[in-house]
Structure 1
Amino acid sequence: MDEFKQIKMSVFLILLLQFTGAATGQRFLSLSVRVGDEATLPCNDVKHFKRQCYDTTWNFTDSASTVELVKGGQIGKNAKSDRLRVTENCSLVIKKVTEEDAGDYTGRQIRPGPEQQDSVSVVVLSVVTMTEHQDNDEVTLNCSVVPCRWWKHTVKWLLPVQDVYKENKYLKTSQSSCSASVTFLSSVFSYTTRLKFFTCEVTESKTGEVQVFPFRPQSSGEDTTAATTESDTTSGFTTTASVITEDCNR
């Protein structure tokens, strides 16, 4: 999908929230997770619901289509059910996130009663991928974010004592709106050193929210089986969506 269609889809989601008005609980959230990690997409204003998520649906929209993932609190037949589950508070959990999971998730709950109201959560899920490529003695680390939306992400590599983009004779760097790479000699940074010291910083331009991901290369959506250090074993985490704007009925 080209950038113009991405903009139209994002604007549509925002307008959808505005159209529902004050009578509807609304939440617009943004979440960035690393390939292979677990993501929890929270449903909105759950305390009003006492029916074990029977009135909950989750839909996923990407560049190609919209798929119903959850209906009546149950994983739908069109969903990849082996990686999805619904929690007791109606949040949607995605295990072992892949780039194909990037997109917009809409959680909707219908409040029963004489004045029926919907409670809507729209979660924009971005996925961070790290790769490593070695050409003779030269190693290149790349960190990228998909989808690259109209509000963009700023991506850069960090070392514990400095931003790698400051002058450093041992490093060559490249940066774009949604990706960054750093190149160096393998004799300068061994594999164990890379795992321990390199981190990728992702900043969402719209909100200024910053997330830092320790270096851990992946291939085809799965963790590599390279030698593990203490730093690597502690770098994985479960990520929960953070609120950009919130207007919930209480």
Structure 2
Amino acid sequence: MDQIRWIIMSSFLMLLVQFKAVAGKLSFSTVRGGDEVTLSCEGVTDDQEKCNSTTWFFWDRRNTVALFEHGQIQKGAKAKSDRLSVTDKCSLVIKKVTDEDAGRYTCTQFRSGEQHGEDTEVDLFVVTMTEEKNDDTVTLNCSVSRYWCEHTVKWLYEGDETDVETTQLDCSGYVTFTSDLNQKSKYYKLLKCEVNHVNTGEVQLFSFIPPQSSGEKPGWWRIIVVPLGLATLIISVVAVNVWARAEGA
């Protein structure tokens, strides 16, 4: 009977989350794609083991999914389940955030099968930065989430603004500059994507991190290759000397 009551209550709460009918504290979090984020749950009751009285829901304006309940990550979390965990204080941790994670997260407390206290709601926005290379130019795109827009986005350049061309759209911004290899590193250092949440006024700056070229080797590669090359050279010299002595004998 308790299990049936829990299922009914969970389904009802999922509908409430979808239609924003649940009164609770709403906060906002904006993170770069690939980073880790921790979403706090307030009003957590102390008399629970492994957060078995805490439920986390996710809503992205398409559907509502229970991510965590009964002390376990749920199968409904699907592809993101291996990136989710819950702390001792029942905060939800998401590793390697993607734009698919953007949406509203709701934490609900239960006591004796009934909701206890108000929900904690967090709107998570994800900043995605991409690079498009053409014959003689490079275009960087900085965008926020996919399902709703609550930000303004623009590129800031610390150098001569005539060197770059910027474009602003809803929740995204583009900057284009020459693809000259000698100048690209300068642009990367001097360009910042400014993300401003229009409701809270929070402003964040993000730098573009260029992907490592396939032709470049990381530092550890040189640490291994250089000594290996010297060892090979020494062995070759010794082998030649041994051979020469054997021939002369």
Tell me if TM exceeds 0.5.
yes
The residue aligned with 1:134 is 133
Higher deviation after alignment, 71-80 or 127-136: 71-80
Q: Which residue of 1 aligns with 2:233?
A: none
Distance 2:115 2:126 in 1: 35
Deviations 1:115-165 (A, max 9, x none): 962341111111111011111121111100113536x21111123x47xxx
Task: Indicate if the aligned counterparts of 2:17 and 2:106 stay in contact, CA closer than 8 A.
Answer: no
Q: Match of 1:177, as an amino acid?
A: D
Task: Flag the structure with higher helix content.
Answer: 2
Structure 1 residue runs of 5 or longer lacking an equivalent are: 1-8, 18-25, 218-223, 230-250
Match of 2:110 in 1: 110
Aligned counterpart, 1:210: 203
Amino acid at match of 1:140: T
What are the Cα deviations for residues 53-93 of structure 1, in whole angstroms up to 9, with x where unaligned? 11000111113211110012310112132110001110111
Q: Distance in 2 between matches of 1:105 and 1:212?
A: 24
Per-residue CA shift, 1:171-219, capped at 9, x if unaligned?
Answer: 11100120011111123874433443322111011111111112125xx
Residue of structure 2 equivalent to 1:192: 185
Does 2:10 align with 1:12? no
- Paired with 2:143 and 2:200, the residues of 1 have a C-alpha distance of 18
Q: Which has the larger radius of gyration?
A: 2
Higher strand share: 1
Indicate the SS of the match to 1:82: helix
- The TM-score normalised by the length of structure 2 is 0.70
Measured on the aligned residues, the alpha-carbon RMSD in Å equals 2.8
Gaps of 5+ in 2: 1-15, 219-249
Could you tell me the TM-score, scaled by structure 1's length? 0.70
**Counterpart for residue 47 of structure 2:** 50
Deviation above 6 Å: which 4+ runs of structure 1? none
CA contact (8 A) 1:73 1:90 kept: no
Q: Check the 8 A contact 1:170/1:188 in 2, yes or no.
A: no
Is the CA contact 1:59–1:69 (under 8 Å) kept in the aligned structure 2? yes
The residue that corresponds to 1:234 in the other structure is none
Identity of aligned residues (%): 47
> SS state of the match for residue 128, structure 1?
strand
Say which SS state the counterpart of residue 100 (structure 2) adopts.
helix
1:1-250 equivalences in 2 (<5 Å): 12-13=19-20, 15-17=21-23, 26-46=24-44, 48-51=45-48, 52-79=50-77, 80-111=80-111, 117-147=116-146, 149=148, 152-159=150-157, 161=158, 168-187=161-180, 190-216=183-209, 224-226=211-213
Distance 2:98 2:165 in 1: 28
Decide whether the 8 Å contact of 1:110 with 1:119 is kept in 2.
no
SS of structure 2 residue aligned to 1:169: helix
What SS does structure 2 have at the residue aligned with 1:156? strand
Task: Give the counterpart letter for 2:125 in structure 1.
Answer: S
User: Does structure 2 retain, via aligned residues, the 8 Å contact 1:49–1:111?
Assistant: no
Q: How many residues were matched structurally?
A: 198
